Amino acid sequence: MDSTLIVETAAWQYIAESSKSAFPEECCGFIFGSMSSNQTNVVTAMKAYNASAADKGDYFAISPATYTEAENYAENNQLELLGIYHSHPNQIALPSISDYKFALPDFLYLIVSVFETEIEDVRAWLIDEEYDRFNEQRIQLL
């Protein structure tokens, strides 16, 4: 995908607040909106419970039931489930090894870097078709 990811103001405020309030743990959730050939619009987000059995400061996990809820939400609201957002407490907004390990094709990954409860950076990623690396996506926060 070679398009711009546009995150609407209300969606970004929700993601940012979720990321800051979860600190020092990772937050996670879903992003919804619409996609065209040259632009992807995130219009809303939904927080998910971090079901990680490991250190929640370094990992997140989302249960299959929660994925199903997100898919139903998208369908019921005529939106596309575009991907996942999650935070990296006291880390940069680059995909981690576990992000890579569990990444799904054609799913956007919005990573929010939070240092001491302040957002330092936000970046968007998409794993390529061969699963050998993440490609950074252009992002615009409204």
pLDDT digits (tens, 9 = 90+) for 96-109: 988 888 888 889 99
Q: What is the CATH number of the domain that holds 37?
A: 3.40.140.10
Give the residue-averaged pLDDT of 70-76.
Answer: 98
Q: Which residue has the higher pLDDT, 111 or 129?
A: 111
How many separate domains does the chain show? 1
**What token pair was written down for 35?**
């996609």
pLDDT over threshold 70, residue 2:
no
pLDDT at site 131: 63
What is the distance between the alpha carbons of residues 117 and 97, in angstroms, rounded to a whole number? Answer: 23
pLDDT digits (tens, 9 = 90+) for 25-62: 999 999 999 998 889 999 999 999 998 877 776 678 89
Name the band, by pLDDT with cuts 50, 70 and 90, for residue 141: very high
Give the residue-averaged pLDDT of 103-122.
Answer: 92
DSSP structural state of residue 37: S
- CA angle 2/112/108 to nearest 5° reads 35
Domain span at residue 94 reads: 4-141
What is the distance between the alpha carbons of residues 93 and 121, in angstroms, rounded to a whole number? Answer: 6
